[in-house]
Amino acid sequence: MKSILPTKEESDEKLLSRRSFFSFAGKMSLVAGVTAVTTGCDGNVSGGTGWVPEQYNAKGTFPVQVRGRIPIDPNNVAICRDDKKCILCGQCVEVCEKVQTVMGNYNLPLIDSVPCIDCGQCTLWCPTGAITEVDDTDKVIRALLDPTLHVVVQTAPATRVALGEEFGMQPGKDIELLQVAALRKLGFDKVFDTNFSADLTIMEEASELLQRIQNNGVLPQFTSCSPGWVKFCEMFYPELIPNLSSAKSPMTMLGTMIKTYYAKEQNIDPTKIVSVAIMPCTAKKSEAARPEMNGASVLWEKPNLRDVDIVLTTRELARLIKSHNINLTSLQPANYDRLMSEYSGAGAIFGVTGGVMEAAVRTSYYFITGERPPEPLFNLQPVRGLEGIKEAAVDIPGVGEIRVAVCSGMGNARPVLEAIQKGEKEWHFVEFMGCPGGCIAGGGQPRSALPPSDEIRALRMKALYSKDERATIRLSYENSEIQSIYEQFLGEPCSERAHQLLHTHYQDRSIHFNKKKA
């Protein structure tokens, strides 16, 4: 399927520079013109120090520049806006409406509700830093200063190949061990790797897919790792909620395991554990806040236990490191803590579009055949790259051809979902990621180009695929810590305990709006 997003050539035909717009605005005495000249960015780390040439000349379509800005709910836990910095340039409208197809794709709300999937792409397009993630660094600092608390942190795969950009390093530089060293310097008691729970997610998700295929379950199965995508589905395509995998994301799976398996192994009171996650994604903040993300509370029968207590974006971690005057490049590399940090190459590529699918196909092949996958499945080219919509077919002995699709960016999700609804495509498994390019270009990543560029996405992507290629193990089921957690605690994939702790449910959010526009 072809991506619905316009090509560069098509876009260039309609573009109007901000310089031209502000000339127009000045002639009409619009407040926005004055604001652009006088406000600047107040030296904020996220917004730079005022208008720089790259920001000032960034382009946007003329209609966008007179349409204002996206609405942001004051109670949004993921993103916020500083009105003093907003220049009404319309770039947030451009990305929300044209790239993510959220704003403008519904009629007026029935109730007082603001449609937002919390993806944070607007934070990456905003030239002044007016729109940012909700800053939760103070919560982390307070937790670290409390001697009665045991503060544990996990880091997502995409953060380690982007954090360095905030410290002058080249995009795609893998600073995994320096990131761990910085977290230890900040005072975290334990540092675990979300790559471990990416392998855990694959074990559950691949098992669920196999059950659906063998038992004539609802197909295609949709991935559920991206909270922006999940909310998009709940909001605009609630009739397809049964297709969503019930498996939690790697972040919330590891959060649950920290307060159950880890707490049990280390004999730590789970109510004294503060679980922090470093994520490339603003939507992870709202995911952590979902009421159903409380697996540990179910096991321990303590209602206030959350899977994850605090989520920081990559940008927030950079600010936290800088505020503590930590010289990242001078640190001695440090390793993750054992128990829940070993990972396969399959876990490492979760951060790129197509990575979840490739990882799942490898393990599904083993689950079905009992044999190691053939070499082509370790380099599944049809699902790699930055193209918005990709398809592949894999022959697996015993079940025949498994047809899969991969989609990133919600503007690309619509034609995929509509093709499924119309019966035009019969896939078995579809991977969706909310942000174009996947987690490497998540809404919480460094703003190294405005708007985000494919060049930077490609460098970050290359770094994660390189980790997979160099990995000693490249299959999730070969992870020895994964094997241990099933043997000692979970039983087997999709067992009763696994469902209790590692799976979730979803809700129809379309009730807040009139039916979407045709």
Q: Is the pLDDT assigned to residue 221 strictly greater than 60?
A: yes
Residues 357 and 428 in one domain: yes
Instruction: Name the catalytic one among 86, 126, 435, 439.
Output: 439
Alpha helices (H) along 345-403: 345-348, 355-369
Q: 281, 321, 315, 276: which is closest to 178 by C-alpha?
A: 321
Q: Is the pLDDT assigned to residue 124 strictly greater than 70?
A: yes
Domain span at residue 58 reads 8-133
Predicted local confidence at residue 68, as pLDDT: 79
Instruction: Name the catalytic one among 41, 89, 96, 225.
Output: 225
Predicted local confidence at residue 42, as pLDDT: 40
Distance CA 350, CA 471 (A): 14
* Residue 289: Cβ within 10 Å count: 14
Distance CA 258, CA 296 (A): 9
Q: Among 65-74, 188-197, 344-353, which stretch is predicted with the lowest mean pLDDT?
A: 65-74
- Residue 265 annotated to the active site: no
Q: Is residue 497 part of a domain?
A: no
Instruction: Name the catalytic one among 97, 166, 208, 316.
Output: 208
Residue pair 42/85 in contact by the 8 Å Cβ criterion: yes
What are the C-alpha distances in Å from 226 to residues 11, 280, 283, 409?
Answer: 28, 11, 8, 11
Distance CA 419, CA 412 (A): 11
Q: Is residue 220 part of a domain?
A: yes
Residues 189 and 206 in one domain: no
Tell me: cis bond preceding 493? Omega within 30 of 0 counts. no
Q: Is residue 300 part of a domain?
A: yes
Q: Is residue 511 part of a domain?
A: no
Q: Regarding predicted confidence, which is higher, 458 or 515?
A: 458
- CATH at residue 375: 3.40.950.10
Predicted local confidence at residue 52, as pLDDT: 32
Predicted local confidence at residue 218, as pLDDT: 98
How confident is the model over 46-99, as pLDDT tens digits? 333 333 333 333 444 455 455 678 999 999 999 999 999 999 999 999 999 999
Q: Regarding predicted confidence, which is higher, 440 or 37?
A: 440
Average of pLDDT values for 368-384? Answer: 96
> How many Å is the maximal CA-CA distance in the chain?
71
Distance CA 230, CA 118 (A): 11
Instruction: Name the catalytic one among 166, 204, 287, 431.
Output: 287
Q: 82, 85, 122: which is closest to 100 by C-alpha?
A: 122
- Tell me which of 85, 115, 133 is where a domain ends: 133
DSSP lists the bridge partners of residue 408 as 433
Alpha helices (H) along 168-302: 176-186, 194-214, 227-236, 250-257, 263-266, 283-289, 295-300
Predicted local confidence at residue 39, as pLDDT: 42
In the DSSP assignment, the letter for residue 159 is: G
Provide the domain count of the chain.
3
Residues 19 and 128 in one domain: yes
- Residue 245 annotated to the active site: yes
Triad 14, 432, 306: Cα angle to 5° = 120
Percent of the chain at pLDDT exceeding 90: 81
Split at pLDDT 50, 70, 90, the class of 194 is very high
Predicted local confidence at residue 66, as pLDDT: 58
Residues 453 and 473 in one domain: yes
Residues 275 and 185 in one domain: yes
Split at pLDDT 50, 70, 90, the class of 4 is low
Residues 59 and 171 in one domain: no
Long-range contacts (CB closer than 8 Å, 24 or more residues apart) made by 387-394: 387/3, 388/3, 388/4, 388/5, 388/412, 388/436, 389/1, 389/2, 389/3, 389/415, 389/416, 390/353, 390/354, 391/1, 391/427, 392/357, 394/361, 394/365
Predicted local confidence at residue 133, as pLDDT: 99
Residues 362 and 415 in one domain: yes
Q: Is residue 392 part of a domain?
A: yes
Residues 185 and 303 in one domain: yes
Distance CA 136, CA 130 (A): 17
Q: Is residue 310 part of a domain?
A: yes
Split at pLDDT 50, 70, 90, the class of 510 is confident
| Total residues belonging to the chain | 518
pTM (two decimals): 0.88
Average of pLDDT values for 144-153? Answer: 99
Predicted local confidence at residue 511, as pLDDT: 78
Predicted local confidence at residue 514, as pLDDT: 63
Average of pLDDT values for 361-374? Answer: 96
SS3 402: strand
Q: Regarding predicted confidence, which is higher, 146 or 113?
A: 146
Residues 445 and 348 in one domain: yes
Predicted local confidence at residue 29, as pLDDT: 33
Q: Is residue 47 part of a domain?
A: yes
Q: Is the pLDDT assigned to residue 109 strictly greater than 90?
A: no
How confident is the model over 252-296, as pLDDT tens digits? 999 999 999 999 999 999 999 999 999 999 999 999 999 999 999
What are the C-alpha distances in Å from 378 to residues 267, 329, 343, 365?
Answer: 39, 33, 16, 12
Split at pLDDT 50, 70, 90, the class of 398 is confident
Residues 331 and 228 in one domain: no
Instruction: Name the catalytic one among 133, 166, 204, 205.
Output: 205
Q: Among 32-46, 128-142, 481-495, which stretch is predicted with the lowest mean pLDDT?
A: 32-46
Distance CA 79, CA 216 (A): 40
- Residue 439 annotated to the active site: yes
* Residue 352, burial from CB neighbour count under 10 angstroms (0-12, 13-18, 19+): buried
- CATH at residue 258: 3.40.50.1780
Q: Is the pLDDT assigned to residue 412 strictly greater than 50?
A: yes
Average of pLDDT values for 404-408? Answer: 98
How confident is the model over 440-480, as pLDDT tens digits? 999 999 999 988 999 999 999 999 999 999 999 999 999 99
Average of pLDDT values for 367-394? Answer: 96
Q: Is residue 331 part of a domain?
A: yes
Residues 156 and 113 in one domain: no
- Residue 2 annotated to the active site: no
- Residue 292 annotated to the active site: yes
How confident is the model over 150-176, as pLDDT tens digits? 999 999 999 999 999 999 999 999 999
* Residue 7, burial from CB neighbour count under 10 angstroms (0-12, 13-18, 19+): exposed
Q: Regarding predicted confidence, which is higher, 109 or 145?
A: 145
Q: Is the pLDDT assigned to residue 35 strictly greater than 90?
A: no
Tell me: cis bond preceding 451? Omega within 30 of 0 counts. yes
What are the C-alpha distances in Å from 93 to residues 69, 70, 305?
Answer: 6, 5, 37
Instruction: Name the catalytic one among 46, 207, 224, 245.
Output: 245
Instruction: Name the catalytic one among 292, 391, 462, 466.
Output: 292
Predicted local confidence at residue 115, as pLDDT: 86
Residues 262 and 387 in one domain: no
Instruction: Name the catalytic one among 59, 259, 284, 285.
Output: 284
